[in-house]
Structure 1
Amino acid sequence: MTQTKPLQTDAYSMILEAIDMGIYKPGDRLVESDLADRFGVSRTPIREALQRLETQSLLARDGRSLIVASLDHNQMAELYVVRRELEGLAARLAARHANEEEIAVLRSMVAADDALVNDPPALARANRRFHKQIHLASHNRYLVQQLDLVHRTMALMSTTSLAAQGRGEIAQSEHDGIVSAIEARNEAGAEKALQDHISVAFMTRLKQDANARERSG
């Protein structure tokens, strides 16, 4: 049986995942030939994937080169405003529509992720899975699409708020409260719990950025 070549969407997904995992960070230069070698695909799908990522503002031009984009303070604030509202809506709809199996998965995620509170990178990956599960439990495909875009853009932040001292334990407690509200079919409570969770994450990130500026200054 002949092996089919990866499609353009595979090249796109692989580059996006590498950005999301921090392999390529904001400001890093992306070179077609290097990416083709890394992912084992031809340069054509790599070129098409880079064009798509640039259109989505995940990559930016630096002269003739493409680099991973970065977010300034205002862009980050705007992103968190949108994320807070959309995530809250997802939690509200999950409280309304999630089936028993989906709620059980959310509960098991919270329990398993408690073991990761001292491993910020692993907890950040688990956090993304947890939020994605809530998005899917909303049973609204258009909301899921919009939240996918928001979370792709979140990858442009070079650090995770979960790296802040004590944030992992607090975030896990917040996740537990979100799931409890969804389990209770408390739509307003689930929405508020998730919105508050995002607000705290935003404040934590603002403090991280302020501390970083102080150290560099």
Structure 2
Amino acid sequence: MQDTRPSQKDAYGLILESIDGGIYHPGDRLVESELADRFGVSRTPVREALQRLETQGMLTRDGRSLIVASLDHTQLAELYVVRGELEGLAARLAARHAAPEEVRVLRDMLDADQALVNDPAALSRANRRFHKQIHLASHNRFLVRQLDLVHRSMALLASTSLAAEGRGRGALEEHAVIVAAIEAGDGDAADRALRDHISHAFVTRLKLDAAKVEAAT
């Protein structure tokens, strides 16, 4: 009989998806036995997946326990700087290499995402798909690999900046500018529009974090 249990790779992916999907938040403790039960795997692949995630900085130690890592202000700033540079490059390359069909997919995403403007969680998932499509349209596998790492770290943010009032609509308007530049084959404009988009997201994130600090004092 064929063994249909999840593999080690599946255990890693399932834990990562759980963090990315908000099932586990920064500071949450991950217990090997509980994860094995949740995902229906043995403890060995879970243990190996946890070790891998710790090495990648997705998990950190709290005494003997492993918890989902969080980003301090400096790490957040560093992440957005790198994201802006790499995302801008992806948009520039997409303007040069994207096939007409890939641009059409981006256009279709823009249209579909209008219905999600008042649903931050759904819009956040759509936003990731939109950015991933730009990464793929760059036709540079090494850049895509680095952006995957960056977006993996974005999962360590406890909330989406798209939840801020008016940010969802603004983000979609920025997406439209990015797609227009890619469609026109204007690499400079696409790079600039994507960097501006990331900058606006960072400003929103900083305002949200400042509001939380003020509310806690």
Q: Deviations over 1:163-188 (max 9, x none)?
A: 00000000000001100100000100
Could you tell me how far apart the structure 1 residues matched to 2:84 and 2:180 are? 19
Match of 1:171 in 2: 171
Corresponding residue number in structure 1 for 2:189: 189
Partners of 2:90 and 2:143 within 8 A in 1: yes
User: Structure 1 residue 6: deviation in Å?
Assistant: 2.0
Take 1:140 and 1:58, find their aligned partners in 2: how far apart are those partners? Answer: 25
Matching residue of 1:66: 66
Partners of 1:14 and 1:173 lie apart in 2 by 33
TM-score, normalising length: structure 2: 0.99
Which string of whole-angstrom CA distances, capped at 9 and with x for unpartnered residues, describes residues 94-118 of structure 1?
0000101111101101110110010
Gaps of 5+ in 1: none
* 8 A contact 2:181–2:190 mirrored in 1: yes
1:143 aligns with 2:131: no
Whole-angstrom distance in 2 between the partners of 1:4 and 1:171 = 41
Deviation of 1:5 after TM superposition, in Å, equals 3.0
User: What is the percentage of aligned positions where both structures have the same residue?
Assistant: 73
Give the aligned partner of residue 77 of structure 1: 77
RMSD of Structure 2 on Structure 1 (CA):
0.7
Q: Quote the residue 1:45 is aligned against.
A: 45
1:130: which partner in 2?
Answer: 130
Letter in 1 for 2:59: L
Query: Which residue is 1:103 aligned to?
Result: 103
Q: Does 1:56 align with 2:52?
A: no
Aligned: 1:213 with 2:213: yes
**3-state SS of 1:66 partner:** strand
Q: How far apart, in 2, do the equivalents of 1:96 and 1:206 lie?
A: 33
* Alpha-carbon distance in structure 1 between the residues aligned to 2:140 and 2:88: 13
What is the number of equivalent residue pairs in this alignment? Answer: 217
* Displacement after TM superposition at 1:3 (Å): 3.1
Q: Secondary structure at the match of 2:67?
A: strand
Q: Secondary structure of the equivalent of 1:118?
A: coil
CA distance in 1, matches of 2:92, 2:21: 29
Q: How does 1:14-33 map to 2 (within 5 A)?
A: 14-33=14-33
Q: What letter matches 2:153 in structure 1? A: T
Structure 2's unaligned 5+ residue stretches are none
Shift of 1:4: 3.5
Q: Distance in 2 between matches of 1:91 and 1:121?
A: 24
Over 6 Å off, 4+ runs: none
